[in-house]
Amino acid sequence: MAEAEGTAGKKKSPLVMTIVGLLILSAVGGGGGWILGSMIAPKIASAKTEQKAEATAEAAKPEGGKKGEEPGLPHLATEANGIVQLEPITSNLAYPSENWVRLEVALMFKGPPDAKLAEDIHQDILAYIRTVSLQQIEGPRGFQYLRDDIQERVDLRSEGRVSKVMFRTFVIE
């Protein structure tokens, strides 16, 4: 009986064993992270210096963009490509009127772009968005119906001079 009491007193508490195990695992994990970080960090630092060098080389080139653009960055939505990006459309929905929608659209013209026609299309899309309710544009099917309706309005307004309407952003708040 004395031997049973002696071995019971020498057993360690499960809580102490759990704490010791967690400390060992933490030390192993921290050491492994430190080693891995020291192997990766020099590669990241050298990549950042290469990017900075490339950016300064690009900035030194004589070709510049529009005001506010970073020089040397090409944009797909240019009049040379036949694409006109419309100003963002922000409006409240018909129902519920507390919800707002922000829509950025680009138009792909079949020939040379027409700024007057693009502005007319912008106003037409804005007028249409104000008549749409949230229930009509919920979900993927509702969004597809909205895209189809806007494409149809653009086709009617442009009389076939706009080949495609490209949605750049669509946010409902």
Top-level class of domain 79-172: alpha beta
Residue 27 contacts by C-beta under 8 Å, 6 or more apart in sequence? none
SS (H, E, C) 104-162: EEEEEECCCCCHHHHHHHHHHHHHHHCCCEHHHHCHHHHHHHHHHHHHHHHHHHHCCCE
Q: What is the pLDDT of residues 152-161, one digit of tens each?
A: 999 999 998 9
Taking only the tens place, the pLDDT of each residue in 87-103 is 999 999 998 889 999 99
Q: How many Cα neighbours within 13 Å face the side chain of 76?
A: 5
42-58 mean pLDDT: 70
- Is residue 106 exposed (0-12), middle (13-18) or buried (19+ Cβ within 10 Å)? middle
Q: Report residue 79's pLDDT band, with 50, 70 and 90 as the boundaries.
A: low
User: Is residue 38's pLDDT more than 90?
Assistant: no
- Domain range annotation of the chain: 13-56, 79-172
Residue 146 CB partners (closer than 8 Å, separation 6+) = 132, 136, 137
Minimal CA–CA distance to 167: which of 124, 113, 104?
104
Query: Among 173, 171, 170, which Cα is nearest to 105's?
Result: 170
What angle separates helix 115-129 from helix 139-158, to the nearest 10 degrees? 140
Q: What is the mean pLDDT of the chain?
A: 82
Cβ neighbour number for residue 129 with a 10 Å cutoff: 20
Q: Supply the pTM of this predicted model.
A: 0.55
Q: What's the rounded Cα separation, in Å, for the pair 124 and 116?
A: 12
